[in-house]
Structure 1
Amino acid sequence: MSKKFSALVVLAIMLTTFSMATTVVAYAQTGFDGRNTASAMYVWNDSDAETQWGIERIFNGVYDGYIPTADVDLAIVDTGIDLDHPDLMANIVWGYDAVRGRTADDGNGHGTHCAGIAGAIRNAMGVVGVYSNVDLYAIKVLGPSGSGTFTDIAEGVYAACKGPDGKEGTADDADVISMSLGGTSDSAELHNAIIHAYNMGIVIVAAAGNSGDGNPSTTEISYPAAYPEVIAVGATDMNDAIASFSNSGPYVEVAAPGVSIYSTYKGGIYKTLSGTSMACPHVAGLVALIIAVKGKMPVGTFSDTGTSTIRGYLHSTALDLGTSGWDASFGYGLIQASQLI
């Protein structure tokens, strides 16, 4: 029997505990292509951008700069994405359904929320993602309830490795995989898929988990975040404190905003949710932006400190919070994007 995973913050009890669940109706601008040329300035004029404290925090209020147009493919491995959401549809270039083999459309809302954090379009409406020109892959591995099997999740990772053409080693292989999901049991099947993607040079980012007890000396394990090939992301609040629910442990690598995060949701609307699920796509979007600005770099390892690898770049540019240096709650610190602008 396949073991079960649950998307972090998807379950109703977690939404009640960790989410404001505020619903906002989007402006009715359908079919708008928000992509920009290489000379466009990174000035976010989206109507609700002022509500996105997380984006502002990692960019430190620096909004002027060039938006790169390099093709960077970011796979959201989750509950799917709302394929018709006006703030996402122009960036969604491919979908894959590992659950039923039908559609990658989101029946839950969790994957759509994560996709918006990483890559919502800059289009004078709604919200904007960390990298608004990214190519999004909607890879559904969790059903409408927000749960799924190791087998389906591993299949989704392998699908991301191949991209739309179904072949590995071509230009449309995913560059980044974002996984806002987790479970407490290890899985050789999933780990093998993660290792395969890592060996291909794909950057894998995962939520650290929402079972934290507020004590950094205790360890709460979540997979795939705990795998050494994965960048595990903890969640911070508006005061740069670690979120009360955020897992701690020796595998936590960096932290990102994850409390009261406003983003896209299924049905063309917007919601505010909390969880390490929301922190994860902030990092995945930043990784995509790093690749767009600096080009492909080696993924690197947990211990890297220089800027010659993706992981080293994240570590060396992070804002050190908590105990000086690496610690079990913040990892190397709060991610920072302003150096790229």
Structure 2
Amino acid sequence: MKKTSMTIITTLLICFCFTNYGHAKTETNQYYTVILKDRSKWTQSIKKIKKSQGEITYTVPEIGLIQFKGNQKVAKTNASLFKSLSPSLKLEKPSTSTSKSFKKPNSSVNSIKGLDSTLPALWDMQWDMKEITHNGESYNIESGSSNVTVGIVDSGIDIDHPDLVDNLKSGSKNLVPKGGLRGTEPEETGDINSINDINGHGTMVAGSIAANGEIKGVAPNTGIKVYRVFGNKSADAVWIIKAIIQAAKDDVDVINLSLGSYYIDGNIYKDGELLDNKWADVEGYKLAIEYANKLGSVVVASAGNDSIDVSNKSELNDFLKKKYAEEGKTFNGVGIEAPGELPGVVTVSSTGPTQQLSLFSNFGKNYIDIAAPGGDSRLLEKYGQEAWWDGGLFRQEQVLTTFNTGRYLFASGTSMAAPKVSATLALIIDQRHYKNRPSNSIDYLYKNGVKKDIEPNLAYWGNGQLDVYNAVK
């Protein structure tokens, strides 16, 4: 691919959303997710749902999960089959709100190389990588190999990006079904090999893991596989659950989930009507993560970008009540964040260039496991948008990564923090021979892969702030 110019865009990544969308009235068809009581009766259960006029729309047989379309009569007729049932929940597509771009000629690119000629052209713009790799020293010790794979559950990847193409392994999969979200995306063919990124978010995440060209990721020689779960719209939670299962079956070592949502453990009401919510999607997440852990995969998730103490349920509930009120809903119960708050997940908060918790990052004691650089907005708040843009201050606090059509962009969000942890775990697994030993690799990360000079703060960064050089030295 020609390298006569590079386009750099800046964006704020917002991947967290609100679920339990408008549920239909009694006799109106809607989508349901169920977990079967007895997985051995899988075929029988499918037949019974179909016989009662339910349309099977998605399945994850490994954990006994079925999504079907039908009215409440279908759900009630087959209730004896189900361990849990709820209206299917959706995750909105990750936001890539681009604002400004420019092209940089080759002469200028060449002038900003780092002191080490082996470092890439745009290295001096990568404050985050310089910090956690000790200005590239970690690459001289361990840069990864194709023996270890990070699975990226996201919106796909730019399959031709020059910084990523050599790391992309065969076996990536598209989990978006034909017709996309509830049949509203006719451009979605359901082709399992269709992994190209039309959103951009997955390509951003991939760059932080394994970019190896004009920029570098944490593990530039590590293999990556992509599990596409977002098209142009929201994703059904069941697709993400399926992707976790599939990645584990494909022998992926680390599964990166730069996504998440808030759920209610309780009852949700609209116009005085109880909306059935018995936790099936969250149970699906739990079962999928447990399945992945048992097969030897580490699961890593981003913490979210709402500046909330997720462990403070009073604060979280107040936040969610305001959001539900906008939809004319109320609830009785407790809010949680999934998958980040579930067992078996390494949950990552974000820090900025000052090594403070990013202003946007969620946090919470016993919620956050580790922190990594994901950008910040302190300079934006201090100086205002005009000075932030025109003075180039965004380059000082957002992180540079890969983007669609061979481009690069500045971005911020916990979505940019999580993949750095995933990539570091891949390095640890490769170097320490921890294949299929997720607990060992996680314990090693928490003990060795953190900064030694940072004041402890369990709520902000759990076991510490990521240090890739310390992890591999």
User: Common fold, TM-score beyond 0.5?
Assistant: yes
2:258 corresponds to 1:183: no
* Structure 2 equivalent of residue 136 of structure 1: 224
What does residue 105 of structure 1 align with? 196
Deviation digits for residues 248-298 of structure 1, max 9, x if unmatched? 122110000001111111111111110000000000111111111111163
Per-residue deviation, 1:61:
2.2
TM score, norm. by length of structure 2: 0.59
More helix by share: 2
> Residue 153 and residue 236 in structure 1: after superposition, are their counterparts in 2 closer, same or farther (change >3 A)?
same
Q: Percent of aligned positions with the same letter in both sequences?
A: 31
DSSP-derived class of the 1:161 partner: helix
Residue 3 of structure 1 pairs with residue 89 of structure 2: yes
Aligned length: 298
State how far apart, in whole Å, the 2-side matches of 1:328 and 1:282 are: 20
Task: Name the amino acid aligned to 2:208.
Answer: I
User: Within 2, Cα distance between the matches of 1:87 and 1:254?
Assistant: 27
Distance 2:338 2:417 in 1: 16
Root mean square deviation, CA, Å: 2.5
Tell me if 1:338 matches 2:469.
Answer: yes
* Gap regions ≥5 residues in structure 1: 28-41, 164-172, 301-308
Which whole-Å CA distance do the structure 2 matches of 1:252 and 1:213 have between them? 12
2:363 is aligned with 1:224: no
In structure 2, what is the Cα distance between the partners aligned to 1:176 and 1:275?
20
Q: Name which of 299, 303, 312 aligns with 2:443.
A: 312
- For residues 106 and 280 of structure 1, the distance between their equivalents in structure 2, rounded to whole angstroms, comes to 19
- Give the unaligned 5+ runs of structure 2: 1-30, 32-87, 107-115, 178-189, 264-280, 317-335, 376-397
C-alpha distance in 2 between matches for 1:223 and 1:26: 43
Residue aligning to 1:291: 429
Q: Tell me if structure 2 keeps the 8 A contact 1:205–1:230.
A: yes
Moved more, 58-67 or 290-299: 58-67
**1:246 matches 2:372:** no
Maintained 8 Å contact 1:23/1:269: no
- TM-score (norm. length: structure 1): 0.80
**Which residue of 1 is the match for residue 173 of structure 2?**
96
**Residues 285 and 215 of structure 1, relative CA distance in 2, 3 Å threshold:** closer
Q: Shift of the alpha carbon at 1:134?
A: 1.1
Q: Is 1:209–2:304 an aligned residue pair?
A: yes
Structure having the higher strand fraction is 2
Q: Is the 8 A contact 1:26 1:268 kept in 2?
A: no
Structure 2 Cα separation of the partners of residues 323 and 217 of structure 1? 22
Q: What is the SS of the residue equivalent to 2:198?
A: coil
Q: Which stretch of structure 1 is more off in the superposition, 195-204 or 313-322?
A: 313-322
Letter in structure 2 aligned against 1:156: A
| Map of 1:256 onto structure 2 | 372
After the TM superposition, which residues 37-186 of structure 1 pair with which residues of structure 2 at under 5 Å, given as runs?
A: 44-63=118-137, 64-69=140-145, 71-94=147-170, 95-100=172-177, 101-102=190-191, 103-121=194-212, 125-145=213-233, 147-163=234-250, 173-185=251-263
Cα deviation per residue 1:172-191 (whole Å; 9 max; x = unaligned)? x1001001000002611122
Structure 1 counterpart SS, 2:262 = coil
- SS, match of residue 293 in structure 2: helix
Q: Which amino acid aligns with 2:92?
A: S
